[in-house]
């Protein structure tokens, strides 16, 4: 018999050899009765300051003929391995997939598992070559509009951290993490409570996944931007490329990422693909010395060798002038750097990333406030692209405030709260560099007041968050897509049959794992239809 045993705790100074003994005690057997012990999941519990510990989930197999005399509530029989899905008949015209981010790649993988090849079209470059364009942007602010932090193989996640943690509870989460491990990501992601690959290792895993798709008969075309869709009798009929060529198919998976503004503008102008404005969030990147965050989160245990660089997760729903809105941390990067993520000249935006070792000097996270369709209207933006126009406007203001060349406007947190420009923000991980200025010039007053109120609340939860060592860097605006391509329960566009809008860019995910799952769901839907 094999069992899944939860809630096995180990203090930092206890050896892992104790795991088997504690699992046996919970099952009511002896350690010698266990034929095997495997760690399934490991989560750091640092809620008790100064005394963090790890909580494990184990899968244990009992020796032949042995059975546990009792099963506590946190023990269950181990689940059987998943069965391979049945193959279906491949259509005459192969499905076209727009974008090779997580949604596009995993949709292609899911289709291939069912016996269906596909054609992937990517406007940017393959993931390894793309690194040179990303480095040039960070070095001197030189932007390649088709190959940058957002566009290229692997999508925005390839060079912005590689976190595989997700808030969604879905049976396909494990499938996604196992796929990344299969294609070269470190095995430790299989057991981590907050799995993280790192921006130095994730591109290699993406490249191996692409090689697997090609070996299975898929086609992957880089530097091939899709400019429009082809239609016939209310159904998608293919795509039109930027060079004027057309490709025909009656199934198109739309997974271009949340910065594919030209496509969304084309859809809104054409009117045949239903588009609506979608709420999102914007704010700043907060950057602190990692040692400061370690001390706040771990207390006296901050320097223990078994502890990783500390992270944090903050959220508040605040009533400011009679209006309740959420303010929260986003994409927290321990031991990471702040990076420029523009896709157009004259527009400034940032994100964060960490390499696999998370050993950089600083920690950073987005501190963002939710914005609604009503917020867009107050600033004079209406219609299906209201959120996109709102987003672009504030990116333009941030660029001007930074003085150009993608210098980021920045201010210490105490100066921002006091509305003054006094202390220089100091050293930073952000390249090309910072412009010391007043961030109060950005965003409507109601959003600024919400951000300030939340920062004061966050400091009560994490004493020292507001300090001269902490700075805000502008702006964080690509938290999620400002548009949604509306779809039905069958994952097809409500206005265009055969078009499957998926992933973060189309408004249905937020991060690598949830985007990959959305792509897998689209593959399953198409396979079901073909069957």
Chain segment 435-491, per-residue pLDDT in tens: 999 999 999 999 999 999 999 999 999 999 999 999 999 999 999 999 999 999 999
DSSP state of 192: B
List Cβ neighbours of 33 (8 Å cut-off, separation of 6 or more): 24, 62, 63, 66
- pLDDT for 171 equals 86
Per-residue pLDDT tens for 187-225? 999 999 999 999 999 999 999 999 999 999 999 999 999
Ordered structural domains, the chain, with CATH: 2-73 (3.30.70.2700), 96-276+483-530 (3.50.50.60), 280-476 (no CATH)
Residue-wise DSSP of 493-510: BSSSBTEEE-TTTTTS--
Is the Cα torsion angle 263, 266, 271, 276 positive or negative in sign? Answer: positive
- pLDDT for 191 equals 94
- pLDDT for 50 equals 86
Distance CA 215, CA 246 (A): 25
DSSP state of 310: P
161-171 average pLDDT score: 83
List Cβ neighbours of 324 (8 Å cut-off, separation of 6 or more): 317, 318
407 contacts 347 by C-beta, under 8 angstroms: no
Q: Which two tokens stand for residue 383?
A: 């219609």
Per-residue pLDDT tens for 379-431? 999 999 999 999 999 999 999 999 999 999 999 999 999 999 999 999 999 99
Distance CA 107, CA 491 (A): 13
Residue-wise DSSP of 85-113: PPP-PPPSSPPEEE--SHHHHHHHHHHHH
Per-residue pLDDT tens for 229-243? 999 999 999 999 999
Residue in 476, 505, 474, 516 with CA at minimum distance from that of residue 197: 516
- pLDDT for 162 equals 80
- Per-residue pLDDT band at 83 (split at 50, 70, 90): confident
- pLDDT for 160 equals 76
Percent of the chain surpassing pLDDT 70? 100
Per-residue pLDDT tens for 337-390? 999 999 999 999 999 999 999 999 999 999 999 999 999 999 999 999 999 999
Please state which of the ranges 70-84, 93-107, 285-299, 480-494 shows the lowest mean pLDDT: 70-84
Distance CA 341, CA 259 (A): 10
- pLDDT for 113 equals 97
List Cβ neighbours of 132 (8 Å cut-off, separation of 6 or more): none
352: which strand partners?
338
- pLDDT for 304 equals 95
- Per-residue pLDDT band at 492 (split at 50, 70, 90): very high
Per-residue pLDDT tens for 280-295? 999 999 999 999 999 9
Residue pointed to by tokens 């506590």: 72
- pLDDT for 330 equals 94
122 contacts 210 by C-beta, under 8 angstroms: no
To the question of pTM greater than 0.75 for the whole model, the response is yes
- pLDDT for 201 equals 93
Element (H, E) at 483: strand 483-485
């Amino acid at each position: 018999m094999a069992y899944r045993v939860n809630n096995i705790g180990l203090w930092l100074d206890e050896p892992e050899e104790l795991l088997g003994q504690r699992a046996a005690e919970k099952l009511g057997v002896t350690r010698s009765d266990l034929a095997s012990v495997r760690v399934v999941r490991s989560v750091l519990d640092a809620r008790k300051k100064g005394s963090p510990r790890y909580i494990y989930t184990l899968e244990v197999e009992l020796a032949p003929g042995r059975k546990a005399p009792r099963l506590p509530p946190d023990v269950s029989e181990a689940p059987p391995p998943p069965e391979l899905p049945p193959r279906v008949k491949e259509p005459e015209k192969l499905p076209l997939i727009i974008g090779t981010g997580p949604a596009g790649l995993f949709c292609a993988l899911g289709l291939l598992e069912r016996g269906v090849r596909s054609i992937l079209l990517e406007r940017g470059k393959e993931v390894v070559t793309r690194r040179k364009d990303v480095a040039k942007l960070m070095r001197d602010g030189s932007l390649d509009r088709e190959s940058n932090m957002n566009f290229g193989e692997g999508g925005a996640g390839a060079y912005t951290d590689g976190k595989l943690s997700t808030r969604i509870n879905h049976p396909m989460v494990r499938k996604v993490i196992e796929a990344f491990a299969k294609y070269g990501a470190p095995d430790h992601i299989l057991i981590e409570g907050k799995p993280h690959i790192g921006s130095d290792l994730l591109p290699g895993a993406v490249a191996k996944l692409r090689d697997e798709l090609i070996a299975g008969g898929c086609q992957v075309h880089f530097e091939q931007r899709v400019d429009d869709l082809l239609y016939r009798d209310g159904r998608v009929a293919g795509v039109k490329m930027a060079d004027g060529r057309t490709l025909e198919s009656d199934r198109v998976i739309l997974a271009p990422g949340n910065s594919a503004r030209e496509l969304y503008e084309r859809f809104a102008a054409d009117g045949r693909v239903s588009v609506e404005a979608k709420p999102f969030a914007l704010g700043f990147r907060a950057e602190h010395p990692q040692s400061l965050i370690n001390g706040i989160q771990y207390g006296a245990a901050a320097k223990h060798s078994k502890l990783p660089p500390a992270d944090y997760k903050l959220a508040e729903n605040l009533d400011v002038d009679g209006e309740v809105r959420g303010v929260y941390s986003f994409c927290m990067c321990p031991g990471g750097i702040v990076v420029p993520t523009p896709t157009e000249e004259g527009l400034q935006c940032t994100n964060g990333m960490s390499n696999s070792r998370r050993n950089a000097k600083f920690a950073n996270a987005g501190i963002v406030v939710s914005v609604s369709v009503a917020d867009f209207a107050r600033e004079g933006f209406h219609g299906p692209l209201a959120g996109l126009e709102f987003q672009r406007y504030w990116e333009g203001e941030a660029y001007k405030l930074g003085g150009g060349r993608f210098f980021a406007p920045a201010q210490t947190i105490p100066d921002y709260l006091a509305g003054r420009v006094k202390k220089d923000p100091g050293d930073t991980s952000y390249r090309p560099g910072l412009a010391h200025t007043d961030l109060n010039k950005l965003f409507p007053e109601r959003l600024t007041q919400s951000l300030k109120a939340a920062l004061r609340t966050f400091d009560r939860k994490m004493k020292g968050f507001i300090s001269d060592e902490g700075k805000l860097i502008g702006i964080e605006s690509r938290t999620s897509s400002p548009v949604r391509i509306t779809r039905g329960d069958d994952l097809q566009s409500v206005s265009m049959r055969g078009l499957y809008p998926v992933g973060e860019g189309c408004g249905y995910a937020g991060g690598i794992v949830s985007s990959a799952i959305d792509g897998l769901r689209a593959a399953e839907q198409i396979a079901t239809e073909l069957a």
